[in-house]
């Protein structure tokens, strides 16, 4: 049994990682900005903290064997957050640091979030800690989340012009990440992608229908370089179509 801290253990992916680790009877810690919800029944140790400021991070790291860094601020602050995770982990010892990244971040140069993720990967690789990095494609629920966020607009915007995605089920990525967290540090491992390659417009239309919206789906304009990269398949990993759950199955279940 290992002591494993999951940053972002309340998020889409982190929740799945936590659930798998608990099944294997590890001692699981969750770091969140919130205090523990009274309804929270999972047998995890809860640490309230903030990776932007570093508040509360130190105590969560004491005695950990593994840190699975799933938290994201969805922006450039991920670099600060990752620096803080590495700093606190090093002060606590030499835990195995497991980081989740995104397929193609080095092939789409103009997305600020992707540039930040690439920098986070570099920080992990040069942290001096034993490390593992898994890159995954977009989770199914990213598409539904983006549609939901636009539900009050007159139209729903998505990557247009034949941009293709290969979405994967977060639960399957969570299972893989939990396996990696309880294995020897492996460096950069094989990417993980979903079972089907589909156009972003098609996926978005299905999500719009599933949300019960009647809105046109319109193409979002991207800087030319990124657009070309995405159209040419920068976000895909066809040789690692390991996920089994399709987008339709995901929609049917949710």
Ligand X SMILES: NC(=O)c1ccc[n+]([C@@H]2O[C@H](COP(=O)([O-])OP(=O)(O)OC[C@H]3O[C@@H](n4cnc5c(N)ncnc54)[C@H](OP(=O)(O)O)[C@@H]3O)[C@@H](O)[C@H]2O)c1
**Contacting residues toward ligand X, per CB under 6 A:** 7-8, 10-14, 32-34, 50-52, 70-73, 100, 102, 117, 136, 138-139, 142
Cβ proximity to ligand X, 214 vs 254, nearer residue: 254
Is there a contact between 190 and 247 (Cβ–Cβ < 8 Å)? no
Least distance between ligand X and beta carbon 203 (Å): 12
CB nearer to ligand X: give 160 or 167.
167
Q: How far is the CB of 10 from ligand X (least distance, A)?
A: 4
Of 154 and 178, which has the nearer Cβ to ligand X?
178
We find the least distance from the C-beta atom of residue 211 to ligand X, in angstroms, to be 17
Q: How far apart are the first and last CA of the chain?
A: 33
Collapsing DSSP states into helix, strand and coil, what is residue 7?
strand
Q: Please say which residue, 100 or 224, places its beta carbon nearer to ligand X.
A: 100
Shortest distance, position 71 Cβ to ligand X, whole Å: 4
**Cβ closer to ligand X: 34 or 253?**
34
Instruction: Find the residue with minimal CB distance to ligand X.
Output: 11
Angle at 79 between CA 167 and CA 40, to 5 degrees: 65
Distance in Å, CB of 86 to ligand X, minimum: 14
Q: Compute the least distance from the CB of residue 49 to ligand X, in Å.
A: 6
By beta-carbon proximity to ligand X, the closer residue of 88 and 214 is 88
């Amino acid at each position: 049994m290992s002591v494993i801290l999951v940053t972002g253990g309340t998020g889409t992916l982190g929740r799945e990682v936590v659930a798998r680790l608990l099944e294997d009877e590890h001692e699981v810690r969750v770091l969140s900005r919130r205090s523990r919800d009274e309804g929270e029944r999972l047998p995890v140790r809860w640490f309230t903290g903030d990776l932007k400021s570093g508040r509360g991070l130190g105590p969560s790291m004491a005695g950990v064997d593994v840190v699975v860094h799933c938290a994201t601020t969805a922006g450039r602050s991920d670099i600060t957050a990752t620096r803080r995770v590495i700093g606190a982990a090093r002060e606590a010892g030499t835990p195995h640091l497991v980081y989740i990244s995104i397929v193609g971040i080095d092939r789409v140069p103009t997305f600020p979030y992707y540039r930040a993720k690439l920098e986070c990967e570099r920080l992990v690789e040069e942290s001096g800690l034993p490390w593992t990095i898994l890159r995954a494609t977009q989770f199914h629920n990213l598409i539904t989340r983006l549609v939901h966020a636009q539900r009050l607009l007159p139209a729903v915007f998505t990557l247009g012009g034949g941009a293709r995605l290969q979405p994967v089920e977060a639960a399957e990525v969570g299972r893989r990440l939990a396996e990696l967290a309880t294995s020897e540090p492996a460096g950069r491992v094989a990417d993980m992608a979903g079972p089907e390659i589909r156009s972003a417009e098609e996926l978005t239309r299905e999500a719009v229908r599933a949300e019960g919206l009647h809105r046109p789906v319109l193409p979002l304009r991207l800087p030319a370089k990124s657009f070309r990269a995405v159209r040419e398949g920068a976000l895909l990993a066809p040789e690692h179509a390991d996920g089994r759950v399709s987008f339709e199955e995901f929609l049917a279940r949710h």
